[in-house]
């Protein structure tokens, strides 16, 4: 049995009954649906758009180049999301034919799109193989799919040059610890990091992709920090058995937290959509030496509402004068500064193993424990 205390994006109580009923319907529907572990992009064909998945080495101007190629190939990006982490970049983009407004079906044209995008992504010094996949969207959400793509790409592994163009402040890294709960054959995973929307989602996605099952958990949030504690086992029923496995879990959970971490200046673009809009906007960013760390692209009712998280090419904060110049080029009402993320979490305090659940296990009988486990 799971209990969640939730608020809306503004931190206020949810009073709209339509929202709560929609949540209830979605959860009840999901309870009877068991997708495969790796997801299933391509299971449900769509006539509306074609899904493009990209993976490659991150570099300044990469999104600008991708958008320019798609525009030249008469593709319009209607929705998408781009993440960067540890010198790697991944994207899931939904595109349409700019003349018909529907999915692209011509095999030769799709092959051309794949070839052109692959040439951009691979680069001359790619540490890994760049990947471009074209498929109709499936039941897996973009965010879920991005976690799977970056996990498969091993973005959690650090390289010597992974800090180029990125801030390498150790205080900004989340704190992940792993302990044993021998009396119950669990492994205890605790995490302390900056709080943000969808943090729990990101953690659970990664644990699932690593084939771990959460039997018990606790999430506690303060004004800006979040503390999470989970009692897990591998799907085979065993706790973590080696130091190498412990280190891998720590790396993967740190990556899960950092992939979507808000880094840099948050810019919001709200404007009437048109073919080539993203190509023009990202070109202006590139020409003004802005580096896009993350982006969320949305089109509804003919209007584009996109969010970009940007720094300069060295990973430092952007000069306010530069932002003023960019806003004038794009249009002052269309582009605005939404938020500047500059928060460094305090060093975590050392706590006794199983702090949140210590009383839980000491005060329950084995029978009660099994009952709770059977509902998890």
Which of 270-277's residues contact partners 24+ apart within 8 Å by CB, and which partners? 270/303, 270/304, 270/305, 270/334, 270/336, 271/303, 271/304, 271/331, 271/334, 272/302, 272/303, 272/304, 273/78, 273/299, 273/302, 273/303, 273/304, 275/71, 275/76, 275/98, 276/71, 277/304
Per-residue model confidence (pLDDT) at position 241? 85
Per-residue model confidence (pLDDT) at position 170? 56
Per-residue model confidence (pLDDT) at position 206? 95
Per-residue model confidence (pLDDT) at position 129? 61
User: How does pLDDT run along the chain (376 residues), one tens digit per residue?
Assistant: 788 888 887 788 888 888 888 888 887 776 554 444 333 222 233 568 888 999 999 999 999 999 999 999 999 999 999 999 998 999 999 999 998 888 888 889 988 999 999 888 886 555 456 677 776 555 568 899 999 999 999 999 876 554 444 444 555 679 999 999 878 889 999 999 999 889 999 999 999 999 999 999 999 988 789 999 999 999 999 898 899 999 999 999 999 999 988 778 999 999 999 999 999 999 999 999 999 999 999 999 989 999 999 999 888 889 989 999 998 898 878 998 887 655 444 444 444 445 455 544 444 333 333 323 333 3
- Would you identify the CATH topology of the domain 265-338? Alpha-Beta Plaits (3.30.70)
Q: Which residue spans of the chain are classified as CATH 3.30.70.260? A: 41-153, 175-259, 265-338
Per-residue model confidence (pLDDT) at position 220? 92
Helix orientation angle between 320-330 and 277-287, rounded to the nearest 10 degrees: 150
Per-residue model confidence (pLDDT) at position 376? 37
- Facing residues of 77 across strands? 95
Please list, in sequence order, all residues whose beta carbon lies within 8 angstroms of the beta carbon of residue 156, skipping any fewer than 6 positions away. 86, 248, 251, 252, 254, 255
Per CATH, the number for 175-259 is: 3.30.70.260
What superfamily would CATH give domain 41-153?
A: ACT domain (3.30.70.260)
Per-residue model confidence (pLDDT) at position 46? 56
């Amino acid at each position: 049995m799971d209990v969640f205390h939730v608020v809306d994006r503004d931190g206020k109580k949810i009073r709209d009954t339509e929202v709560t009923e929609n949540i209830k319907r979605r959860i009840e529907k999901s309870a009877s649906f068991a997708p495969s572990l790796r997801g299933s992009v391509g299971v449900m064909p769509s006539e509306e758009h074609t899904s493009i998945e990209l993976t490659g080495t991150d570099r300044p101007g990469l999104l600008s180049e991708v958008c320019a190629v798609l525009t030249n190939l008469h593709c319009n990006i209607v929705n998408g999301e781009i993440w960067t982490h540890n010198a790697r970049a991944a994207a899931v983009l939904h595109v349409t034919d700019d003349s018909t407004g529907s999915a692209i079906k011509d095999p030769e044209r799709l092959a051309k799109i794949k070839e052109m995008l692959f040439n951009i992504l691979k680069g001359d010094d790619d540490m890994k193989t760049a990947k471009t996949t074209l498929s109709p969207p499936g039941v897996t959400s973009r965010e879920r799919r991005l976690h799977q793509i970056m996990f498969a790409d091993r973005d959690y592994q650090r390289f010597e040059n992974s800090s180029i163009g990125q801030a390498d402040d150790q205080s900004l890294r989340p704190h992940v610890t792993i302990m044993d709960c021998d009396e119950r054959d669990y492994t205890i995973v605790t995490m302390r990091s900056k709080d943000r929307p969808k943090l729990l989602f990101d953690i659970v996605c990664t644990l699932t992709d690593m084939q771990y099952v959460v039997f018990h958990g606790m999430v506690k949030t303060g004004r800006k920090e979040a503390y999470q504690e989970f009692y897990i086992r591998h799907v085979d029923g065993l706790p973590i058995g080696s130091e190498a496995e412990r280190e891998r879990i720590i790396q993967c959970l740190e990556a899960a937290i950092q992939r979507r971490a808000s880094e840099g200046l948050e810019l919001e673009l709200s404007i009437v959509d048109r073919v080539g809009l993203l190509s023009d906007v990202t070109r202006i960013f590139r020409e003004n030496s802005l580096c896009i760390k993350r982006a969320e692209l949305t089109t509804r009712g003919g209007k584009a509402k996109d969010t970009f998280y940007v720094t300069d090419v060295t990973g430092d904060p952007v000069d306010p004068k530069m932002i003023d110049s960019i806003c004038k080029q794009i249009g002052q009402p269309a582009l605005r500064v939404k938020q500047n993320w500059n928060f460094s979490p305090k060093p975590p305090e050392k706590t006794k193993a199983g702090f949140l659940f210590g009383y839980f296990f000491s005060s329950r009988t084995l029978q009660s424990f099994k009952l709770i486990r059977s509902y998890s």
